[in-house]
Amino acid sequence: MAGLHTELVGTGRPRLAFLHGLFGRGRNWSGVASALAADGHPGVLFDLPNHGSSPWTDEFGYRAMADSVADELRLRLGSAARLTVVGHSLGGKVAMLVALAHPELVESLAVVDIAPAPSEGVDGFGPLVAALQSVDLTRVSTRAEVETQLAGSIPDAGTRQLLMQNLRARPQWHWQPNLDLLGASLDAIADWPDPGPVSYPGPVLWLRGERSEYVRPEHLDTMRRLFPAVELRTVAGAGHWVHADNPAAVVAELQRLVGGA
């Protein structure tokens, strides 16, 4: 597969790599990354496979995604690459596997509102995929027209705006994510591949949203087995989109992690 799309935030050698969630893209992390870059911690935003400007694949697989991130880090930063890898939701599962399979690349790890376990609620994305696929993009001329068509099936304005970030007008109107593959892979996306008898010994920050159900007490034993140095922190007032709901708290936690790594 061709290289992943990345975007540097700040100047100099990046100290953090940011991985987005399902139907997101690297720029979902722009605000947090910019704040950290201003504090002297430049970062690199990843578009994961089948998302954003990165290539599409024929199959979905977490291990392959983790390997593609690792390959890109080595390509961009050389054999001495070591960063803090930050991942939210789907990207959090990828980040965990990067740390477990390629620990030499990972200075520290931040896992945002996801656990090393099957995730509930992912099947709720099925109707969203169907809604996006139902729009006849050959018959629209503005973003407003697309949003109007989506309003009936996706009444929540915040969800619509999040998904609309994936709409592009050139060379013709299209959705950036691989909707067919991702929509058909929701069971695999919800799952967690058994990484085997491995662990990552470095510092791990595990952030959960106060109003989110993705991280639960029964996940703690597995997290401690895989990541013995894990620290669980709850972000006040946040749901699953922790870095959007309380970005200041996420920046502060990541500053603490990077400063101590």
The H or E element containing residue 247 is helix 247-260
Burial (CB < 10 A; 0-12, 13-18, 19+), residue 119, is buried
- CA distance linking residue 86 with residue 96, whole number of Å: 9
Residue 239 CA: distances (Å) to CA of 86, 169, 225, 228: 17, 31, 26, 26
Active site residues: 89, 180, 240
Structure tokens belonging to residue 22: 């399902």
DSSP 53-103: TSPP-SS--HHHHHHHHHHHHHHHH-TT--EEEEEETHHHHHHHHHHHH-G
Lookup result for tokens 């947090």: 32
Over its C-alpha atoms, the chain yields an Rg (Å, rounded) of 18
Beta-bridge partner residues of 178: none
Other Cβ atoms closer than 10 A to 6 = 21
